[in-house]
Amino acid sequence: MKLYNGIMAETPEDFSVQRFVQQLFEDLSLTLPSLGCRFEGVVAPTAATVHAPSQFLKNKLFLLFADIAAKADTLKVQFTPAPNGADLILEFTCQPFDSQAFETLPNFDKGLFGLLTDQQKPGFQLTLPGGMPAKKAPPLDWSQLAQLYGSPANGRQVLDQFLARCPTLLAELQTAIRSAESTAVLRFAHTLKGSARGVTAVAVAEAAFALETLGRTGNLSTASDLYKALLDTYDEFILWVREGQ
């Protein structure tokens, strides 16, 4: 179903689907436990973008997931994007999910959401117009780093502290993955994600968050591949820093 069904709450923009859903899932994982439901969300890697009002959409999805989670102890969600011509279908497979009660939920919007067409996958979907290809952001934003900490020198000091800590964090994360200790994977990946965000290393933070979500679900079947992707992203970040770009 199309998002554009009449009233628009904000101006549409092009944005990364993966980053958008990761942030949504992180908000849900922090909020839903206070309502009595543990949230576990997994995001399939994608470079796709969409053209839509992002905050309006995030609010709609958040409230709908809260409705779905209202009577569940744990809500597990798998996000998968599916190209459809010039559009992109956002598919959310949910456990548990009551397809018969879905359209009666308080925050169901029939102009936006619909059931997944594959009857073997319980959940819902929405279709959004595809966006322009995203420009690759630099591994580090020097100007933003300086603004965060008051001066280039202060920013560089915080960055150096992050760089000094990373080898230990990465080694601990690798050990946790090899030992299949999902709680430890969650803890170390979460720490790395937060530290990377603190120095504007967005790509490193996103790669760490992918491992954090696996640790939260307890399913580490793809953790080794995600760890390799994290190392590749981190190496690119280190090269960028050393060259002072």
Using the 3D structure, point to which of 129, 155, 180 is the last residue of a domain: 129
Closest CA to 141 of 62, 218, 196: 196
Q: Mark whether 84 and 167 lie in a shared domain.
A: no
The Cα 163–Cα 237 span in angstroms is 10
pTM over 0.85: no
Question: Two tokens at 8?
Answer: 């628009």
**pLDDT at residue 42 in the model:** 86
**DSSP summary character for residue 40:** E
Please indicate, yes or no, whether residues 90 and 32 belong to a single structural domain of this protein. Answer: yes
- Range in 70-79, 101-110, 132-141, 227-236 the model is least confident about: 132-141
Residue 120 in any domain: the answer is yes
Residue 178 tokens, joined = 């090899």
Overall number of domains in the chain: 2
Same domain? 146 vs 191: yes
For residue 49, is it within any domain?
yes
Amino acid at 61: L
Residue with token string 């290393």: 201
Residue 124: DSSP 8-state: E
Does 62 map to a domain?
yes
Residue 164 has pLDDT above 50, yes or no: yes
Choose one of 96, 129, 162: the last residue of a domain: 129
| The dihedral sign for the CA sequence 192, 202, 238, 223 | positive
- Let me know if residue 23 belongs to a domain: yes
Q: Examine the pLDDT at 9 and tell me if it is beyond 70.
A: no
Is 64 in contact with 105 (CB distance < 8 Å)? Answer: yes
**CATH number of the domain residue 168 falls in:** 1.20.120
Query: In terms of DSSP bridges, do strands 87-95 and 123-129 run parallel, antiparallel, or are they unpaired?
Result: antiparallel
**What is residue 244's predicted lDDT score, i.e. its pLDDT?**
64
Tell me the residue range of the domain where 117 lies.
Answer: 13-129
Q: What percent of the chain has pLDDT over 70?
A: 95
